[in-house]
Structures are given as structure tokens and as C-alpha cells.
Amino acid sequence: MKCLRLALMCCALSGSGVVGEAFAADGDPVGIYLPDVASPPAARAVAPRKVVEKYSDGKPRVEREAIQMSDEQFINHGSYVEYYANGNKYAEGTYKQGVYDGVWKFWYENGQLCKEVKFAEGVPDGQWETRRADGTLRSVKAYKMGRREGRWIDYNDDGTTVKVEQVYADGGLNGERIVYFPSGKPKQKATLKNGVLDGEITEWDEAGRKVAQFTLVDGKIHGVLRRWDAQGKETALEFDMGKRVSSTVN
């Protein structure tokens, strides 16, 4: 009877919100029940604000738009401009809820445009162009929602002749790659699969003469490797998954 009264007392206290503890008939606890605690509400924007940060000489260093959240935090939202100490722009773009959004531009200290890039939901998306401090084009890149996708081109110092062009798919090198001499003539044409050379490869000298042709399978020479010297004499070597089998000279 004493055990029953104790159990009833504990149940009564539980009902009042003091504690939630259940006892078996012999008085041993079989479970403790804590009241549910609601999760705090997500922070929300409560006030926009213009923020200006300055160098020691009073010149602007950063001019940005931000929003104050209900949890007292400030995040960038809206236009953003950052400056070099000489007053030239370093970066200009837009934030959306604290992440990069849309077109962003970056400059060298001399005022020359360094790169123009695009973001979507905080990750690279679309075509990027990068330039050297003298204004010549350095590279053209392409992204799709943060992954490398499409044709990437690197240029020589003159900014016009192509140095390398290659294709990205599914975030990796998958497709044709062409390497060029500074003159603009092709030096090597190959195919890559998941970043590894795979398939037929052809090489030329700067005069445009073919000097080698072979096939790679999983990064290993397979089949006939043909080479030509400056006089056009051909040497053929046969391989089986990287192992030399035979050779002939024509």
C-alpha cells in the first residue's frame, strides 16, 4: 500500500509539471519524462543598414549594405564595394543573405580589371574571365552551380593565342584537350577521362609535322605507337597495356 501511495504521489507531481517520473509497483523508476522544449525560431531580417569602413586616413575601405537579424547578427545583403588604399576599387558585387550573388568584378591595384565572375546561390556559375595586370586575357572558365563545366581556355602572355583548351564535364576533365605552341599551332591533341589521358593522342612539332601517334587505355599505351623523325622516317612500337611487344622501322 505504501508503494501504491508513492506511485500516486509521483504521478500527481508529474501532472503539475514539477517532474515526470513513473514507478513500478515495487517503487523502482522505469522512466523519466522531461517536458518538450520548443526550438528557437529562425533568425529573420529586422533592419537594413549601410556600413562604411575606412582606412586610417579617412578614405573608404569598404562600403556595404547589411541587414541586422533578430539574433543581433549582421550579414551582408545588397551592394558591396571594397577599395585599395589608393582609392581604386578592389571588388564590387552583390550579396544575398550573406553569400555572393550575381556578377562580381575584381581589379588590380593599378585599376585594371582582374576578373569578372558570376555566382548563383554563393557558388560559381556561368563564364568567368581573368586578366593580367596589363589587361591581356589570361583565361576563360565555365562553371555550373559550383562545378567546372564546359570549355576552359588558357592564353599566352599576348592574351590572344591559345595555350591550352580543355573540356570539363561532371566536375572533372572529360573530353578533348589541345595544347598549342606559342605560335598558335597545335602541339598535342588528346582525350581525357576523369582527368586521365585516355584514347588517341597525336603530337606535332612546331613546323606542323606529325611526330607521334598512339592510344592510351586507362593511362597506359595500348596498340601501336608510331613516331616520325625530322626526315619523315617512321618507327612503330607495339604495346599491350603498357608493355612493349614488338617494334618495326620503316
Instruction: In whole angstroms, give the CA distance from residue 124 to residue 179.
Output: 26
pLDDT digits (tens, 9 = 90+) for 141-188: 999 999 999 999 999 999 999 999 999 998 899 999 999 999 999 999
C-alpha cell at 6: 508513492
* Mean pLDDT (the chain, rounded): 85
Instruction: In whole angstroms, give the CA distance from residue 200 to residue 189.
Output: 8
Architecture of domain 43-148: Single Sheet (2.20)
Q: In sequence order, which residues have a C-beta less than 8 Å from that of residue 5 and are 6 or more positions away? A: none
Instruction: For residue 74, count CB atoms less than 10 angstroms from its CB and return exposed for 0-12, middle for 13-18, buried for 19 or more.
Output: middle
Q: What is the pTM of this model?
A: 0.73
Assess contact for 236 and 248: CB atoms under 8 A.
yes
Domain assignments of the chain as residue spans, ordered by start? 1-35, 43-148
pLDDT above 70 coverage of the chain, percent: 80
| Residue of 215, 218, 214, 217 lying closest to 228 (CA atoms) | 214
